[in-house]
Amino acid sequence: MGPPSGKSRNFAFVLGLMSGTSADGIDVALTRISGKPPRLKAKLENFLAVDFPAEVRATILRIAEGSPTTTAEISQLNFLLGELFAAAALRACKKFRVSPTRIALIGSHGQTIYHQGAPGPFLGAKVASTLQIGEPAVIAARTGIPVVADFRPADMAAGGQGAPLVPFVDYLLYRDARRGRVALNIGGIANLTAIPAAATPKKVFAFDTGPGNMLLDALVREFSHGAQSFDRDARLAQRGILLPALLRELLADPYFKRRPPKSCGREQYGELYAQRVLAWGRKNKARPEDLLRTATMLTAISIVDALQRFVLRRHKIHELIISGGGAHNPLIRAQLESGLPGVRLVPSAALGVPEDAKEAFAFAILAYETWHHRPANLPSATGARRPALLGKICFPPPA
């Protein structure tokens, strides 16, 4: 299946749409792609972030936290998010001065509202499942562009955890004959891809390390009574002190010692987890800034621990390439630098993809691979038994 008629034979413009576990809004990455692995070429042409309306974000977070809802609410939200994703794509085209008719394809990750990568008991069976919403048929109809969406289930059907999927792109971008690299994304959840020097795809492995910004954002919303959604430049956390007793209690979480492949999400580190931290703070009369500093250190130290426990014992790593919102947090960066001597921290922007654009850029590439009938999961990263064609394709209505 080649590019739709009227698109260049040499390359394709693909839009990547992404909303992560923090549910801040929709990231749109305009990507120019040509070739195929191992010589696939992808360049980020432009990037736009579009905030969700406050009421929409609050609804997403409430549902994703497992609060009571209805099938009607989930269905309505699915279609509303489809409209918002489509509007973000069209807004990006206008801002980038690129006609939608020049876009060959859209890759939409959608909005995760549930993810359980490892099978658990359900109605007498063991079931793993995931659910991303943001109706792709609506996106295709509004934009007139084919859409690839719902990437994770195909990997899970092949026995994987459906996450992380970005390692396929990390490998294409960052493999190096002489330098071992780790690509670290600190979004709501922190995840990493280990790419040993001269690695083949089977030697690449990846996993979620644990909480990224999710806990920090929840605490900031609580302390500011909803006026702020994140701790910009760690300003509040830098006014606090570390609470060793709380940190020890949080680091005792069995997840951190579990061997990869593994994935986690809001089910483990969402609102209930934040309430546990807040309850500890009330009991011990801790200041908000001290709780936030300790939570920030939890993110950084759990990442360092994961690297030391599962990566550095096996491979020589020269560079840590960081992306995601947490890459802007000076406390996290400082802890990573002090905890990983001999490993150079490199912002992903230095290698061509700004920190905030990385995941939207990745899903543009994953969509391109699906469109060309090529598998784009890494079984060594997800635990799948075999490669899988990711996603489902929605076509726009006939002209």
For the stretch 58-76, pLDDT in tens is: 999 999 989 999 999 999 9
Confidence at residue 2, expressed as pLDDT on a 0 to 100 scale = 47
pTM of the model: 0.90
Q: How far apart are CA 74 and CA 352, in angstroms?
A: 37
Confidence at residue 9, expressed as pLDDT on a 0 to 100 scale = 54
CATH architecture of 12-159+387-394: 2-Layer Sandwich (3.30)
Q: How far apart are CA 295 and CA 256, in angstroms?
A: 15
What is the location of CATH 3.30.420.40 in the chain?
Answer: 12-159+387-394, 167-351
Fold of the CATH domain 167-351: Nucleotidyltransferase; domain 5 (3.30.420)
Q: How far apart are CA 299 and CA 213, in angstroms?
A: 8
- Beta-bridge partners for 17: 28, 108
Q: How far apart are CA 327 and CA 51, in angstroms?
A: 19
For the stretch 26-56, pLDDT in tens is: 999 999 999 999 889 999 999 999 999 999 9
What are the residue ranges in the chain where pLDDT is below 70?
1-9
Comparing CA positions, the residue from 354, 353, 372 lying closest to residue 105 is: 372
Confidence at residue 6, expressed as pLDDT on a 0 to 100 scale = 38
Q: How far apart are CA 269 and CA 123, in angstroms?
A: 25
Q: How far apart are CA 119 and CA 121, in angstroms?
A: 7
Our CA dihedral for 299, 302, 303, 308, rounded to 10 degrees, sits at 160
Confidence at residue 3, expressed as pLDDT on a 0 to 100 scale = 44
- Beta-bridge partners for 328: none
Q: Which residue type occupies 86?
A: A
